[in-house]
Structure 1
Amino acid sequence: MELILWRHAEAEDGAPDSERKLTEKGQKQAKTMAEWLKPRLPKNTLILVSPTRRTQQTAAALADDFEIVEEIGPGVSAKAILVAADWPDGKGTVVVVGHQPTLGETAALIMSNKISGWDIRKGAAWWFTHKTKNGVEEIFLHAAISPDMA
């Protein structure tokens, strides 16, 4: 299984939080990351998106076909993200477009088996791979890239 944690791009300040939209810089960040991701993702990639406007705008740079999932909205737990994505037992590739601090906590949980305050930059994507080889589970960080590096 492949799991990509993609933090929403830069958004405007304001309220209500759920309606904050991407800034011009955020739109560029989303487009840049989407251009990096598109040629690397299989056609049947599942894209799960938080119900906030900024995450939906970020995901829309990648594809029109994404699923809005309440369970990955702001303030959820890292474990909720993993359950929604069916990590590590799912098949194929899943992109989760979400928020800090939860995405950083999810990355820490995947890599260290404990929740820590890791930071994923705005617009950045962390790509994890899970495989079973000769009966042994392997988890590795395939890529960690921010828009300014793509």
Structure 2
Amino acid sequence: MDLLLWRHAEAVDGSPDHTRELTERGLRQAQRMAAWLEERRPKRLRVLVSPTVRTRQTAGAFTDRFEIVPSLGPEGSVADLLAATGWPDSAGPCLVVGHQPALGRMAALLLSGVEADWTIKKGALWWFSNRVREGETQTVLRAVVPPDLA
């Protein structure tokens, strides 16, 4: 399974939190990452998105075919990410457009085996795969792409 974690791009400050929109810079970040993703898109990619405006705008730079998953909102947890994506047993690749701290905690869990407060930069993408080698399931970090390098 491929699992792509994409933190929403830069958004305006303010409240209510769920209605915050991307800044002009955030729109550019999302467009650059979307172009990078389009060149590398796995076949049959499922796209799951938090219900916030900023995550929907970030995902919308890449595709209009995404599923809004309420449990992936700013209050979401690693358990919510695991349940929504089916990691590591889902049959197909999955892209999640979401929030800190859950995305960073998920990255920590996948790489170290323990949830920890890791940070994924706004607009950045982390791409994981899993494989079985000699009967052992392994997590592979395929890419970490900050928005300014996409």
Question: Under a length normalisation based on structure 2, what TM-score does the superposition of the two structures give?
Answer: 0.97
Partner of 1:118: 118
1:41 to 2:41 alignment: yes
For 2:28, the aligned partner's letter is K
RMSD (Å) for aligned C-alpha atoms: 0.9
Q: Helix, strand or coil for the counterpart of 2:95? A: strand
- The CA distance in 2 between the partners of 1:115 and 1:43, in whole Å, is 29
In 1, the alpha carbon distance for the partners of 2:92 and 2:143 equals: 17
In 1, the alpha carbon distance for the partners of 2:76 and 2:23 equals 24
Deviation at 1:33, TM superposition (A): 0.4
State the match for 1:108 in structure 2. Answer: 108
Secondary structure of residue in 1 paired with 2:116: coil
CA offset digits 1:54-74 (Å, max 9, x no partner): 000000011010000011111
Give the aligned residue type for 2:50.
Answer: S
Aligned residue pairs: how many?
150
2:41 and 2:79 map into 1 onto residues whose CA distance is: 24
Distance 1:142 1:43 in 2: 16
Contact 1:11/1:22, CA 8 A, preserved across alignment: yes
In the TM superposition, what whole-angstrom CA distance separates every residue of 1:65-119 from its partner, at most 9, and x where no partner exists?
0000011111111121111100001112100000011100010011111111101
In the alignment, does 2:67 pair up with 1:67? yes
For residue 42 of structure 1, report the CA deviation from its aligned partner.
Answer: 2.4
**Paired residue for 2:9?**
9
Partner-residue secondary structure (3-state), 2:138 = strand
Q: Which amino acid aligns with 1:98?
A: G
Secondary structure (helix, strand or coil) at the match of 1:148 reads helix
Q: Is the 8 A contact 1:100 1:119 kept in 2?
A: yes
CA distance in 2, matches of 1:71, 1:41: 25
Which runs of 5 or more residues in structure 1 are unaligned? none
Q: Residue 140 of structure 1 corresponds to which residue in structure 2?
A: 140
Distance 1:13 1:144 in 2: 26
| CA–CA distance in structure 1, aligned partners of residues 91 and 73 of structure 2 | 23
**Aligned mates of 1:88, 1:68 — CA distance in 2:** 21
Aligned to 1:94: 94
- Structure 1 residue ranges (4+ consecutive) displaced by more than 3 angstroms after TM superposition: none
Percent identity over the alignment? 52
